[in-house]
Structure 1
Amino acid sequence: MRIDHLDHLVLTVADMAATVAFYTRVLGMQEMTFGDQRKALIFGQQKINLHPAGHPIAPHAASPAPGSADLCFITTDGIHEVIAHLQDCGVALEAGPVPRTGATGPITSIYFRDPDGYLLEVSSYDPSERAP
């Protein structure tokens, strides 16, 4: 078996409306309603399914809890543009910019948190240093 790419992941959230508002306003994702009024966030060719805390949708993680993950998103914007946008949105930076290693090479990352306390990392690749 060979895995090609990630299709979606699931976040357990305490306040669905606050989470949707944050990810659409701050990260520019699109809200999606599907199935039995389930919520998801769409970006590129991926999505994040949202499960309400206390009412996870089966099957689910062994111990679903808000704030229990950290996620890294890649941006094509300059990292300083992202920092300015976060400041305009009133989002406090937790760390960065700092050098890190991404899936295909060196990245520059910044860190902040969403309403549930999930650690979010937004990173940019230097195109000249990206692995083939």
Structure 2
Amino acid sequence: MISIDRVDHLVLTVTDVDRAVDFYERILGMEAITFPDDRRAVRCGQQTIKLHAASELVEPTATHPVPGAANLCLVANNAISEVQEHLRANDVRIEEGPVSRTGTNGAITSLYLQDPDGNLIELARYDEPVMTTDLPPTV
């Protein structure tokens, strides 16, 4: 039996690598990186999204690599209201949300948008537990 630990990276096929890097860096706050072979990617936390141009595919590749075919859920550190404000301030159209969904580790609140290639991007935040205190009520 194989035991998978985690996702290391994924690859998005895009029409314009520079435009994709700009979007993921400027709008989603990811770090742009360039590999020694001049391939481009963006990094968030311990994961990388490699960006391959549809006109210059890297072998081996998926059977039908096309821009706009991906659906990704990315977990934000910010409150969803802050994410929403940032998207609006940068003229990014919110397709849906905020809405309640279920993530890998429980309840999330999500916003949906599209990247420049039409990939569906879900920006999620895990719902925070209700805080309780042992302090007496204030009058």
Q: Distance in 1 between matches of 2:129 and 2:105?
A: 12
What residue in structure 2 maps to residue 57 of structure 1?
A: 58
CA RMSD across the alignment: 1.1
SS in structure 2 opposite 1:127? coil
**CA offset digits 1:11-40 (Å, max 9, x no partner):** 000011111110000000111111321001
Q: Answer yes or no: is 1:122 the counterpart of 2:134.
A: no
What residue in structure 1 maps to residue 47 of structure 2?
A: 46
What residue in structure 2 maps to residue 93 of structure 1?
A: 94
Q: Answer yes or no: is 1:112 the counterpart of 2:113.
A: yes
**Structure 1 gap segments, 5+ residues each:** none
Give the aligned residue type for 2:18: A
Give the aligned residue type for 2:86: H
CA apart distance, 1:68: 0.3
Q: Distance in 1 between matches of 2:64 and 2:57?
A: 10
TM-score scaled by structure 1? 0.94
Aligned length: 129
**Structure 2 gap segments, 5+ residues each:** 131-139
What residue in structure 2 maps to residue 81 of structure 1?
A: 82
CA apart distance, 1:67: 0.3
Moved over 6 A (4+): none
Name the % identity. 49
CA apart distance, 1:128: 2.1
CA apart distance, 1:85: 0.4
Q: Distance in 2 between matches of 1:102 and 1:24?
A: 24
Q: Say which one has the larger Rg.
A: 2
Give the aligned residue type for 2:111: I
Q: Answer yes or no: is 1:102 the counterpart of 2:119.
A: no
TM-score scaled by structure 2? 0.90
CA apart distance, 1:127: 3.3
